[in-house]
Structures are given as structure tokens and as C-alpha cells.
Amino acid sequence: MQKLKWENNLTKKIDGLCEIFPDVIKNRWKNRLVYNSEKIAAYENSTIVTEDIFWKSVYEVFPGGYEPLILKIKDPARLKADMESSRNQENMEPGTEPVKITQWSKQPDVDSSVPKNKKILAVNSSARKGGNTDIILDELLRACEDNGSTIEKLQLCDLNIKPCSGCRACRKGDVKTICTIRDDMSAVYEKLYDMDGFIMGFPIYTARENGIMANFMDRWDCFANPQLTRKWPGMKKGMVVCSWMWPNTTAYDNIVENMVILLRLHKVLTTDVLVITGTRGKKHGRGVVKNHPEILNTAYQAGIQFLKTL
């Protein structure tokens, strides 16, 4: 499997990293790590896979959400410190929590006018009303409303949205109701057609978008019906808001990117992403971001910037 010489103990570290995987996929991950490590070594004109090259490979191959597993092998002391810091967040005073906001599109503020009378639709798939995702959505919508837009926010947990049944009627012919399932999604389809800008918010609990959002996006598949008489009205603009507990600000970037791609496939072009991390603290109630004015201001300004893209 290995074609180059490797520094001592690196093979054992591969075994340690892959210990968590069931046998049916373990060798697949090992092969990826070996192949990528030796590829990096070749790019760097190295005849040996060094410790530095190996960890570069690990961070390229493993998604960010695997960081605890990586640190368990690479730096157990740091993992212990990170875990203790996360637990201690429960006892921090309001405003001192290590919550952060990361904005992906930090475009310079140009002296362009903000369009008026736009219709902005936001959906929140978190069932924690008043939680971090919900609060950030509210700031974005407040910015839109303050600047002359009509806003609406849907709490998906309050709606009766059934799972896609896989009937594939939307691949067999025109469906006047967009989808054959009759539930609250029928009204949501009308709002999606009518909106100028779309903002989605979802938390990550189990290394993917939460189940409510996954179910919601499954019900968009009927828009891809080539025989649909009612066509999607051009490319719309969107924003994505995502929150998770782990303090690593890039841990689930791959999940967010997947959602951005999915929206693009449905003709919604995401112009910005806001990621909220380190959100464990609940001692003072849900939504620790409410204790951080600088984070709320970042979201508000991002809302104005979003309007300028419409």
C-alpha cells in the first residue's frame, strides 16, 4: 500500500485514526490517507512522508467535524482542554461565552443603494425558537425590514410538511399543485415562487443539517420537474445561516457547502453564509448570541449587504 518511506509511528497513527471505523470502510479510509500523504510528499519533492506532511493529509481527507478524533491521536492535551472549555461554557457570565460568527462573503461596503420593496422569505428549521439560529435570522430580517423590504419568517417545526414519498409523479408529467402531497408545503411553494430573496437557517446536531431541514429540502425536488408548466422564475438570491456547538469555526463547512450547492441546483444562488459556533452555553437561557452585540451587528450588516445583491 505504501510506496514511499514513512517516518516512524505514522502507520500506527493511521491505525489509531481509523480505529473508529467499522471494518467494511476502514481500509477505504486508510487508503485515502496513504494516497493523499504520498501525493503531498510528491508535490513537495520529498522522498519521505514526514509528520508534517502526514497531518496535512489528515486535515485534507477528514471533514472538519472529525477534529475531536484527530486531536485524540495528534494532541490529546488540546482535546482535553477543548472539551473542558466547552463544558465550562455553561458557567460563564453572559457576554463572555466563546461564541463566534464567521461571515464567508466579506465584500467591501460599496456606496450602492439598497433596493426597496423586496420580498424576503426566511425559514428556520431549528425547533429551538429564540435559539442562536433564530436570533441571527431575526437580525437579518430586521435589517431587511428597516431598509424597505417585506419580510416573513417560517418556523418549519410549526408546519405540517410530510416527507417526500418518492412517488415520482413530478417526473412523469405536469403537476398543477407542484407536488402531489397536500400539506402545508403547498402554501410554502407559493411563497418560494413569490420571494425575491431567500434566507435559510439550520443547526447541526449530528454532523449534517438537522432532520427538519433535510425533509424540507427533499420537498424542493419537484421544482426540477422538466414538464412543470409553472417554471421557476429565474435565478433567485439566498443566504445560509448555520450554527453548531463545537468551537471549531470550520468543523462542518462541508455540510454548509453541500447546502449551498443544493440551493444552486434549485436556482437559488447563495451570496453569503453566516456560521455561528461555540454555542453550548445554556445556563442563561437559549440563544447565547443575544449576549454578544458585535455578533448581532455583524448579522444586521450582512442583511443590508444581502439586499444589495438583489
Would you state the pLDDT for residue 109? Answer: 64
For residue 93, the model assigns a pLDDT of 80
DSSP string, the chain: ---SEE-TTHHHHHHHHHTTS-HHHHHHHHHHHHHHHHHHHHHTT-SEE-HHHHHHHHHHHS-GGGHHHHHHHH-HHHHHHHHHHHHHGGGSPTT-S--EEEES------S-PPPPS-EEEEEE--S-TTSHHHHHHHHHHHHHHHTT-EEEEEEGGGS--PPP----GGGTS--TTSSS--STHHHHHHHHHH-SEEEEEEEBSSSSB-HHHHHHHHTTGGGG-TT-SS---S-EEEEEEEE-SSS-TTTTHHHHHHHHHHHHHTTEEEEEEEEEE-----TT-S-GGGG-HHHHHHHHHHHHHHHHT-
pTM for the model stands at: 0.91
- Ordered structural domains, the chain, with CATH: 5-89 (no CATH), 100-308 (3.40.50.360)
**The pLDDT value given to residue 282:** 65
* Res 284: pLDDT: 60
pLDDT tens string 54-98: 999 999 999 988 999 999 999 999 999 888 877 777 778 888 888
Residues of the chain scoring pLDDT < 50: none
At residue 175, the pLDDT reads 94
Q: What is the pLDDT of residues 116-147, one digit of tens each?
A: 999 999 999 999 999 999 999 999 999 999 99
Give the per-residue pLDDT at 199. 98
